[in-house]
A = this chain, B = another copy of it.
């Protein structure tokens, strides 16, 4: 059985004109396995376990392509580095300002809000993402 994700991936590559190389697939696989929100460096390390010859620059380029065709999403929290996330169900991520732990926030409908943005600007809204920061329960106990 071919997964939903698998078909979506092939379709998006086909439409974009980019080729689905083994490196790009490896980056996608790494993001799928790694449940968290890895940085480019972390993705690089994960990919390297399978294929030691891959270069960090290739991972950056792959992440950029995957984001462009909408398979993944880049989260620009106030701290560097940028972290990446599979672009699956609509959800929001909150990041602990102390320990960096990332959790998802479900059940908050953002799409209505986003569409109302479009009604209030002459710009063509291409991307509206929510960057949420907070303190996780564990870190709250410590302080």
| Interface residues, chain A, with chain B CB atoms under 8 Å away | 74, 76-78, 92, 94, 96-97, 103, 105-108, 110, 113, 116-117, 120-137, 140
Are A123 and B117 also in contact (CB < 8 A) when A76-B77, A77-B76, A78-B76 are?
no
Q: How far is the CA of A129 from the CA of B76 in the complex (A)?
A: 11
Check A123–B137 contact: CB distance below 8 A: yes
CB of A74, distance to nearest CB on chain B (Å)? 7
Query: Which residue of B is nearest A102, CB measured?
Result: B123
Q: How far is the CA of A6 from the CA of B116 in the complex (A)?
A: 34
Check B121–A103 contact: CB distance below 8 A: yes
CB of A95, distance to nearest CB on chain B (Å)? 9
A108 touches which one: B106, B113, B124 (CB < 8 A)? Answer: B113
Q: How far is the CA of A135 from the CA of B122 in the complex (A)?
A: 9
Are A106 and B134 also in contact (CB < 8 A) when A76-B78, A77-B76 are?
no
With A76-B76, A103-B122 given, name 12 new contacts (CB 8 A).
A76-B131, A94-B125, A96-B123, A97-B127, A105-B121, A106-B120, A108-B117, A108-B120, A123-B135, A123-B136, A129-B130, A130-B131
